[in-house]
């Protein structure tokens, strides 16, 4: 597995040189290096210390890269063939239930602890810098406290209970001191929150030097991450989960509290509201497309608002965009099909990051409710053929036969997904998508095609261009680690769990997201069109609505993978068959038949990552996650 870092490799190599002979990260994750002269030099003046600051940033995972982020390919949202040479096999191996404890896939255990170690070195030494202004010292400390919290959080989300590395141990630490135990999950969450609170007090509300500093953390980012951590800690996976009864350290310390605590949701809701207020004060708002040059209808403006809330770099909805992790040409090539057969560069886009049929069906009807719940939607005949008429020509090709499933859907369906018979609007024109056998976007090679017949439109910039030569180009943008719609929905979820549907803010914040997506309010949509018109008036019903809203709004943003886990719904959703259309067929009637691709298996043990068996062997105090 490849890790992407943008930092001073010479400096880091010097810092880690003495560690290379150790057999496990357990031997050095919290030990101060003995090359003190090198450390002193790194913090002698501001320019050198700034390099070390960026080294602390460099451990941020490349979440905009399919090969490095399990949330893109290791769940049920997209599918590719494991034989495709253009991707790492790791995501699909996990999606197929082939994770293991011998050499775990996506084993971030070591790299995150190395990042924490660098953060501790920075915090222990930054006060030595002689030419660092007090305001900058304050900000730098805030940034590194945040990064230290984030690296702990990344591990907590994957592994649950982990080591807390508050301080690095001295080089003369005994072997027994280095062999650490895991801290209880609640202690880990509280420690991370403490760091985030501390960082938020030191960080600026906004980035002033936008040309050079965008991507560095701010107070709204720290408070939003605090909200996410607390929502996760309050969620069913970590709040009253009886599956983890008896998971203890050797000394008998329980690693998970298996008794449900409603106050965790109350605390999470408070944190979400605090983060929202900080974001609003900093000018962060829901994005709406308003390009005066693009002469678009109101419905197309809605579609572009949905797409560009993700793809327009540094837009007003972005709470935190990772400059370490761009949605680059590679990732957009994975998503974009071969739209322009007239150009040689049409071979460059791959179009193989394929949404599954399950995801195509999760989007609402045009009435803003699930298609199996809409009393006006012909759900039973959704796979039957239907011909596009002129009134539907903005989204689909007039006169073309496609599945009934593709008609009368909400704007996010057309913004996020392309399909056989659809249209794809770009800055340089509108392109037809024809994916049946022998057509422009069908399989032409042993890789570089959609195995389901669907394409991930949402993450492709509307500025993507297929060139005359054998290449394509696009505007890269920072991976959206956090945007305001996500925070709104976290707040609604936490409020519903803490108080139930009596709190008016729940629907207020859900409806803000729906309004931007071109939908009526929850109250209007369910009362007018749902077979369960009062669903939103109960806590269980509103929970289902909020969860569905998150799965739709945050589709293809590496959110579903983690949400299904914290809700304990992955065992339900990832024990189903992955399917798509029969893409090897030319005739519409044959193409539009459901074709199974893989029967997923998910076990209780899969909710948490396995710790490497080698680490367990080196450190007997390190307890393995249950089931591994």
DSSP 145: H
Q: Are 493 and 550 in contact (CB under 8 A)?
A: yes
Q: Residue 110: in which H helix or E strand, if any?
A: helix 109-125
Q: What are phi and psi of 104, to 5 degrees?
A: -60, 140
Task: Give 260-298 as a DSSP string.
Answer: --THHHHHHHHHHHHHHHHHHHTT--------SSS---H
HSE at residue 182, side-chain half, CA atoms within 13 A, is 28
Q: What are phi and psi of 95, to 5 degrees?
A: -60, -30
Q: What are phi and psi of 54, to 5 degrees?
A: -70, -25
Distance CA 617, CA 611 (A): 11
Does 482-575 match 9-60+99-283+610-618 at the fold level? yes
pLDDT at residue 35, as a whole number: 56
Task: Give 356-371 as a DSSP string.
Answer: PHHHHHHSBBTTSSBT
pLDDT at residue 11, as a whole number: 34
Burial class, 295, CB count within 10 angstroms (exposed 0-12 / middle 13-18 / buried 19+): exposed
Distance CA 487, CA 481 (A): 11
Q: Are 192 and 229 in contact (CB under 8 A)?
A: yes
Distance CA 344, CA 148 (A): 47
9-60+99-283+610-618 fold: 1.25.40
pLDDT at residue 30, as a whole number: 47
| Sheet strands (E) in 11-143 | 78-79
Mean pLDDT per 10-residue interval, the chain, length 628 residues: 37 32 38 64 95 96 94 97 95 97 96 97 97 97 98 98 95 88 98 98 96 95 98 98 97 97 98 98 97 92 98 98 90 96 92 98 98 98 98 98 98 98 97 98 95 98 93 95 98 98 97 98 98 98 98 98 98 98 98 98 98 94 96
Cβ-Cβ contacts under 8 Å for 271 (sequence gap 6 or more): 193, 223, 226, 227, 230, 231
> What are the structural domain ranges in the chain?
9-60+99-283+610-618, 298-480, 482-575
Q: What Cα–Cα distance (Å) separates residue 262 from each residue in 87, 110, 240?
A: 42, 34, 10
pLDDT at residue 469, as a whole number: 87
Which single residue is written with the structure tokens 């030319």?
Answer: 586
Per-position b or e across 50-59, b if 16+ CB within 10 A of its CB = eebbebbbbb
First to last CA, the chain: 21
Distance CA 25, CA 616 (A): 11
Q: Residue 540: in which H helix or E strand, if any?
A: helix 539-553
Six token digits for residue 260:
């449900």
pLDDT at residue 25, as a whole number: 40
Distance CA 49, CA 41 (A): 9
pTM value surpassing 0.85 = yes
Q: What Cα–Cα distance (Å) separates residue 414 from each residue in 57, 278, 433, 553?
A: 36, 32, 12, 13
Cβ-Cβ contacts under 8 Å for 540 (sequence gap 6 or more): none
pLDDT at residue 590, as a whole number: 98
CATH class of the domain defined by 482-575: mainly alpha
Per-residue model confidence as pLDDT tens digits over 171-197: 888 888 889 999 999 999 999 999 999
Six token digits for residue 449:
């095609």
Q: Are 79 and 72 in contact (CB under 8 A)?
A: no
What 3-state DSSP class applies to 105?
coil
Q: What are phi and psi of 330, to 5 degrees?
A: -60, -50
DSSP 479: E
């Amino acid at each position: 597995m490849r890790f992407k870092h943008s930092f001073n490799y010479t400096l880091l190599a010097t810092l880690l040189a003495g560690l290379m002979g150790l057999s496990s990260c357990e031997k050095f994750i919290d030990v101060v290096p003995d090359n003190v002269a090198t450390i002193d030099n790194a913090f002698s003046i501001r320019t050198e210390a700034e390099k070390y600051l960026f080294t602390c940033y460099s451990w941020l995972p490349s979440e905009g890269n399919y090969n490095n982020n399990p949330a893109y390919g290791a769940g049920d949202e997209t599918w590719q063939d494991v034989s495709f040479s253009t991707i790492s096999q790791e995501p699909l191996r996990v999606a197929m239930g082939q994770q293991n404890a011998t050499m775990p896939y996506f084993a971030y255990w070591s790299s995150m602890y190395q990042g924490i170690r660098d953060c501790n070195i920075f915090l222990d030494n930054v006060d030595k810098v002689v030419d660092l202004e007090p305001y900058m010292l304050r900000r730098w400390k805030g940034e590194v406290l945040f990064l230290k919290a984030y690296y702990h959080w990344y591990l907590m989300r994957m592994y649950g209970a982990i080591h807390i590395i508050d301080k690095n141990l001295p080089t003369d630490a005994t072997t027994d001191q280095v062999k650490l135990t895991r801290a209880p999950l609640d202690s880990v969450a509280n420690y991370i929150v403490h760091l985030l609170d501390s960082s938020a007090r030191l960080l600026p509300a906004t980035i002033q030097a936008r040309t050079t500093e965008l991507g560095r953390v701010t107070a709204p980012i720290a408070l939003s991450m605090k909200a996410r951590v607390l929502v996760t800690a309050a969620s069913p996976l970590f709040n009253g989960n009886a599956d983890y009864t008896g998971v203890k350290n050797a000394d008998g310390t329980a690693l998970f509290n298996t008794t449900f605590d409603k106050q965790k949701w109350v605390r999470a809701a408070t944190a979400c509201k605090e983060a929202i207020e900080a974001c609003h004060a900093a000018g962060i708002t829901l994005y709406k497309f308003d390009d005066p040059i693009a002469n678009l209808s109101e419905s197309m403006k809605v579609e572009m608002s949905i797409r560009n809330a993700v793809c327009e770099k540094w837009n007003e909805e972005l709470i935190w965009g990772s400059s370490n992790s761009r949605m680059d040409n590679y990732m957009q090539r994975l998503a974009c099909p071969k739209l322009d057969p007239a150009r040689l560069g049409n071979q460059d886009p791959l179009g193989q990051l394929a949404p599954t049929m399950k995801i195509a069906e999760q989007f609402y009807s045009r009435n803003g409710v699930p298609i199996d719940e809409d009393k006006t939607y012909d759900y039973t005949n959704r796979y039957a053929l239907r011909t596009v008429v002129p009134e539907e020509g903005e989204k689909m090709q007039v006169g073309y036969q496609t599945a009934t499933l593709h008609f009368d859907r909400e704007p996010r369906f057309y913004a996020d997904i392309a399909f056989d018979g659809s249209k794809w609007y770009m800055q340089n024109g509108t392109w037809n998508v024809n994916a049946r056998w022998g057509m422009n976007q069908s399989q032409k090679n042993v890789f570089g095609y959609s195995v389901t017949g669907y394409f991930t439109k949402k993450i492709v910039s509307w500025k993507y261009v297929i060139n005359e030569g054998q290449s394509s180009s696009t505007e890269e943008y920072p991976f959206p680690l956090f945007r305001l719609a996500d925070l709104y929905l976290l707040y609604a979820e936490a409020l519903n769990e803490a108080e139930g549907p009596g709190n008016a803010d729940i629907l207020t914040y859900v409806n803000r997201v729906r309004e931007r997506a071109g939908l009526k309010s929850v109250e209007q949509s369910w009362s007018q069109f749902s077979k369960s018109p009062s669903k939103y008036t109960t806590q269980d019903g509103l929970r289902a609505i909020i969860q569905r809203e998150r799965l739709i709004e945050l589709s293809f943003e590496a959110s579903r993978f983690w949400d299904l886990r914290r809700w304990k719904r992955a065992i339900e959703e990832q024990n189903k068959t992955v399917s798509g259309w029969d893409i090897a067929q030319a005739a519409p009637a044959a193409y539009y038949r459901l074709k199974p691709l893989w029967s997923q298996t998910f076990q209780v043990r899969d909710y948490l990552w396995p710790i490497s068996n080698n680490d367990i062997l080196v450190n007997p105090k390190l307890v393995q996650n249950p089931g591994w």
